[in-house]
Amino acid sequence: MILTPPATGVPRRHQRPADASVLIVVMWVTIAILSVTLYFADSMGLEIRATANRVSGMAAQQAAEGAVRYVSWTLWNSVSNGILRTNAQFQCEAVPVGDGRFWLIGRNRDEAYRTDPWFGLVDEASKLNLNVANSNALASLPGMGTELASALIDWRSTNSDLSLPYATHGYSAKHGPFETVEELRLVQGLTLLELYGEDPNLNGVLDLDENRFSSSAEAAPGLLETTTVFTREPNFHADGTTLTNVNTRAQIQSLLETTLGTTRGRQVLTQLGFNGNASPTFQSLLGFYVASGLTPDEFEKMAPDLCTSTNTYVYGRVNINTASTEVLTALFMGLGQSEQAAAGAAESLVGYRRQNPSRPTSIAWLVTALGTSNPVVTSLARRDLITTRSFQYSGDIVALGPNGRGYHRVKLVFDLSDGVPQVIFRQDLSRLGWALGTRIRNLIAAGTLP
Task: Report yes or no: 361 and 89 within 8 Å, Cβ to Cβ.
Answer: no
Query: What is the CA 83 to chain-centroid distance, rounded?
Result: 17
Contacts of 152 (CB under 8 A, 6+ apart): 130, 135, 138, 184, 187, 190
Task: Report yes or no: 71 and 395 within 8 Å, Cβ to Cβ.
Answer: yes
SS3 80: strand
Mean pLDDT for 331-357 is 95
Task: Report yes or no: 194 and 188 within 8 Å, Cβ to Cβ.
Answer: no
Residue 250: the pLDDT is: 94
Closest CA to 114 of 217, 42, 44: 217
Mean pLDDT for 108-135 is 88
- Between 373 and 81, the more confident residue is 373
Residue 20: the pLDDT is: 76
Instruction: Give CA–CA dist 51/405, Å, rounded.
Output: 12
Residue 8: the pLDDT is: 54
> pLDDT averaged over the chain?
89
Residue 105: the pLDDT is: 95
| Banded pLDDT at 214 (limits 50, 70, 90) | low
pLDDT of 6 over the 60 cut? no
Of 109-113, 147-151, 228-232, 403-407, minimum mean pLDDT range: 109-113
pLDDT of 170 over the 60 cut? yes
Mean pLDDT for 130-152 is 94
Residue 422: the pLDDT is: 95
pLDDT of 9 over the 80 cut? no
**How do beta strands 386-387 and 318-319 pair?**
parallel
Instruction: Give CA–CA dist 307/387, Å, rounded.
Output: 11
DSSP lists the bridge partners of residue 84 as: 79
Residue 88: the pLDDT is: 63
Of 15-19, 115-119, 440-444, minimum mean pLDDT range: 15-19
Mean pLDDT for 309-333 is 95
Mean pLDDT for 418-443 is 93
- Map 204-263 to HEC letters: CCCCHHHHHHCCCCCCCCCHHHHEECCCEEECECCCCCECEECCCHHHHHHHHHHHHCHH
Residue % of the chain over a pLDDT of 90: 64
Instruction: Give CA–CA dist 283/345, Å, rounded.
Output: 21
SS3 47: helix
Mean pLDDT for 160-172 is 84
Task: Give per-residue burial for 21-35: e unless 16+ CB within 10 Å, then b.
Answer: eeeeeeeeeeeeeee
pLDDT of 11 over the 60 cut? no
Instruction: Give CA–CA dist 379/369, Å, rounded.
Output: 15
φ/ψ (deg, to 5) at 436: -95, 0
Of 260-264, 342-346, 437-441, minimum mean pLDDT range: 437-441
Mean pLDDT for 139-150 is 93
Residue 5: the pLDDT is: 56
Q: Is 39 exposed, middle or buried (0-12, 13-18, 19+ CB in 10 A)?
A: exposed
Residue 85: the pLDDT is: 65
Q: Is 37 exposed, middle or buried (0-12, 13-18, 19+ CB in 10 A)?
A: exposed
- Between 111 and 63, the more confident residue is 63
Mean pLDDT for 115-134 is 94
Mean pLDDT for 408-435 is 95
Residue 202: the pLDDT is: 92
pLDDT of 296 over the 80 cut? yes
Alpha helices in 79-156 (DSSP H): 135-139, 146-156
Mean pLDDT for 148-159 is 92
H or E segment at 79? Answer: strand 79-80
Mean pLDDT for 414-418 is 95
Instruction: Give CA–CA dist 333/329, Å, rounded.
Output: 6
Mean pLDDT for 387-391 is 95
pLDDT of 48 over the 80 cut? no
What is the per-residue DSSP string for 404-448? Answer: G--EEEEEEEEE-TTSS-EEEEEEE-GGG---SHHHHHHHHHHT-
Residue type, 51: T
Per-residue pLDDT of 71-103, as tens digits, reads: 999 999 888 888 886 656 688 999 999 989 999
pLDDT of 359 over the 70 cut? yes
Alpha helices in 79-165 (DSSP H): 135-139, 146-156
Residue type, 188: Q
| Banded pLDDT at 159 (limits 50, 70, 90) | confident
Per-residue pLDDT of 187-207, as tens digits, reads: 999 999 999 988 899 998 888
Instruction: Give CA–CA dist 323/345, Å, rounded.
Output: 13
Residue 343: the pLDDT is: 96
Identify the top-confidence range among 3-7, 107-111, 333-337, 417-421: 333-337
**How do beta strands 392-400 and 100-106 pair?**
antiparallel
Number of helices (H) and strands (E) in the chain: give both, helices first: 14, 17
Alpha helices in 261-417 (DSSP H): 262-272, 285-292, 296-302, 325-333, 339-355, 364-370, 375-381
Closest CA to 413 of 182, 122, 66, 94: 122
Instruction: Give CA–CA dist 105/307, Å, rounded.
Output: 33
Residue 86: the pLDDT is: 61
Of 50-54, 188-192, 244-248, minimum mean pLDDT range: 50-54
pLDDT of 306 over the 70 cut? yes
